[in-house]
Amino acid sequence: MSDAAAKIAVLRASLAQAGLETLHKHARVPLGHHETDLCLHGGLERGALHEIFAAGTHETAATGFAAALGFRMAGKKRLLWIRQDFSALEHGELSATGFLEMGLDPSRILILRVADAANGLRAAGDALSCAALGAVVLEIPGEPKILDLVASRRLTLACAQKNVSAFLLRFGAKPQASTAETRWLIRGACSSKNEDWGNPVFETDLLRNRHGRTGHWVMQWSCENGCFRAADCGAVVSATCDRPVATEFGAVA
């Protein structure tokens, strides 16, 4: 019996070691928003799968959040954005000038148009084997059957192999169990009512964090500096969207 107990102790130790290793194996990329970075042990893990869900019809906010994270993750490398034909019709085509205005260089984006989720997953698997890519964004509208635990496990493994990060951008889907490192629920937040309103402000819910706590923050993407920061004063919003709304047109130009 003591033999078995010793064995179990050894196994436990090696497991703990492995856990620590996975925690420190890959570099982490800070978002710039202090509280979030603290919660994420320094930032988003590179070479892992991250899921970004659009809350309700906040698809464009989720797109912006994914773009911002993708570019931060990619650094100087390229970003491959895999999107389905349906998504472009329903939620709009990705716009180069839009990326540019967010301070993200459009020449670093490659776009792959695919017909369905199966092709998208396949292409993502292939692209994740290319270490020269910085990140892969896979945009999937709806809840296709093919996107199950096996598919997400496969993506996670592919990410870890060449240390390329993947972002699964989901529209019109309910968050469900997967092997993702983090899972975010994104909705757009109201801008502060000053002269320069309209910066990308996100109300983010970190629903899952494999190596830490979850949380809820309102972050603003700073187009100028290319990082997240706390939203401008006055833009602090309640978690629900049925808050009273100012009706005066204070900032009409």
Partner 1 sequence: MAKVENALRLTAVDRKAAMLGLEPGMPLANARAMLPALKVVTADEPADRKLLAHIADWCDRFTPFVACEPPDMLLLDVTGAAHLFGGEKPMLDQIREKLSKQGFALRAAIAGTAAAARAFAHYKDGAIVPPGAEEAAIAPLPIEALNLDAITTHAFRRAGLKTVGQVSARARNELTARFGARMVFALDHALGKAEKPISPRIPLPDYMAEHRFAEPIVTEDVIRATLHSLAEILSSVLEQRGEGARRLEASFFRADGAVYRITIETSSALRAPNIIERLFREKLDALADPLDPGFGYDLIRLGAIRAERCAEQVIGFDADANEEKEIRFLVDRLAARFGSNRILAFQPNDTHIPEAAFVAMPAQYAQNAKWECDTKEAPRRPLRLFARPEPVQAVAAVPEGPPLRFRWRRALHDVVLAEGPERIAMEWWRHQDLQASRDYFRVEDSQGKRFWLYREGIYERETLAPRWFMHGMFA
Instruction: Find the binding residues for partner 1 in span 125-144 (CB under 8 A).
Output: 126-127, 130-133
169 touching partner 1, by CB under 8 A: no
Would you say 23 or 227 has its CB closer to partner 1?
Answer: 227
* Candidate list 71, 99, 217, 228; residue touching partner 1; CB under 8 A: 99
* Candidate list 107, 145, 233, 238; residue touching partner 1; CB under 8 A: 107
61 membership: H or E segment, kind and range = helix 59-74
- CB contact at 8 A, 55 and 69: no
Conformational region of residue 82, where left means phi above 0, alpha means psi within -120 to 50, and beta covers everything else: beta
33 touching partner 1, by CB under 8 A: no
One DSSP character per residue, 101-117 reads HTT--GGGEEEEEESSH
From CA 118, how far away is CA 131, in angstroms rounded? 22
From CA 45, how far away is CA 61, in angstroms rounded? 22
* Candidate list 38, 39, 112, 227; residue touching partner 1; CB under 8 A: 112
240 touching partner 1, by CB under 8 A: no
* Candidate list 46, 50, 58, 170; residue touching partner 1; CB under 8 A: 58
Smallest gap, in angstroms, from Cβ of residue 18 to partner 1? 30
* Candidate list 10, 15, 20, 100; residue touching partner 1; CB under 8 A: 100
From CA 75, how far away is CA 70, in angstroms rounded? 9
- CB contact at 8 A, 124 and 155: yes
Would you say 43 or 200 has its CB closer to partner 1?
Answer: 200
* Candidate list 191, 205, 217, 228; residue touching partner 1; CB under 8 A: 191
From CA 62, how far away is CA 171, in angstroms rounded? 8
From CA 121, how far away is CA 146, in angstroms rounded? 9
Would you say 130 or 177 has its CB closer to partner 1?
Answer: 130
Would you say 176 or 199 has its CB closer to partner 1?
Answer: 199
Smallest gap, in angstroms, from Cβ of residue 210 to partner 1? 26
Within 68-97, which residues bind partner 1 (CB under 8 A)? 68, 77-78, 80, 88-89, 91-97
Smallest gap, in angstroms, from Cβ of residue 149 to partner 1? 25
- CB contact at 8 A, 199 and 218: no
From CA 31, how far away is CA 227, in angstroms rounded? 6
* Candidate list 45, 51, 59, 205; residue touching partner 1; CB under 8 A: 59
227 touching partner 1, by CB under 8 A: no
On the CB side of 79, CA atoms within 13 Å amount to 24
Tokens 């703990």 belong to 16
